[in-house]
Amino acid sequence: MPVVTNPITPTLSVSELRALANRHALPPIVDSQLAKTVTLRTTRPLRAGKTRQYSLPEIDFQLLEALGDSLLEASICRVLYTNVTSRADRSAVLFSAYRSVLRNNGLLAQLSHGYRLHLTMSPPLDPAGTAAGAPFSVSVTKILADSFEAYIGGLTQASGEQVARSWLEPLLIDLMGLIYPAVEGPDAVSRGQRTPRTEPNATPRTEPVAAEPVAQRPPKRPRDDA
pLDDT tens digits, residue range 35-86?
A: 999 998 865 544 445 555 778 888 899 999 999 999 999 999 999 999 888 8
Q: Using an 8 Å Cβ cutoff, are 185 and 4 in contact?
A: yes
Q: What pLDDT, on the 0 to 100 scale, is given for residue 87?
A: 85
Q: What pLDDT, on the 0 to 100 scale, is given for residue 226?
A: 43
Within a domain: 225: no
Q: What pLDDT, on the 0 to 100 scale, is given for residue 211?
A: 38
Within a domain: 72: yes
Q: Using an 8 Å Cβ cutoff, are 7 and 97 in contact?
A: yes
Distance in angstroms (rounded) separating the CA atoms of residues 142 and 56 = 21
Distance in angstroms (rounded) separating the CA atoms of residues 95 and 86 = 12
Find the CATH number of the domain harbouring 83.
Answer: 1.10.1520.10
Q: What pLDDT, on the 0 to 100 scale, is given for residue 3?
A: 63
Q: What pLDDT, on the 0 to 100 scale, is given for residue 94?
A: 87
Q: What pLDDT, on the 0 to 100 scale, is given for residue 205?
A: 35
Q: What pLDDT, on the 0 to 100 scale, is given for residue 216?
A: 43
Look at the chain and report how many structural domains it folds into.
Answer: 1
Within a domain: 108: yes
CA distances from 135 to 21, 29, 118, 225 (A): 19, 29, 15, 97
Within a domain: 218: no
Distance in angstroms (rounded) separating the CA atoms of residues 171 and 168 = 5
Q: What pLDDT, on the 0 to 100 scale, is given for residue 155?
A: 98
**Percent of the chain beyond pLDDT 90?**
50
Q: Using an 8 Å Cβ cutoff, are 174 and 197 in contact?
A: yes
The residue segments making up the domain with residue 23 are 14-45+53-184
Name the stretches of the chain with pLDDT < 50: 45-48, 190-192, 196, 202-222, 224, 226
The residues with which 40 forms a beta bridge, in sequence order, are 122
Q: What pLDDT, on the 0 to 100 scale, is given for residue 78?
A: 96
C-alpha gyration radius of the chain: 24
Within a domain: 179: yes
Q: What pLDDT, on the 0 to 100 scale, is given for residue 217?
A: 46
Within a domain: 193: no
Within a domain: 221: no
Within a domain: 9: no
Q: What pLDDT, on the 0 to 100 scale, is given for residue 28?
A: 97
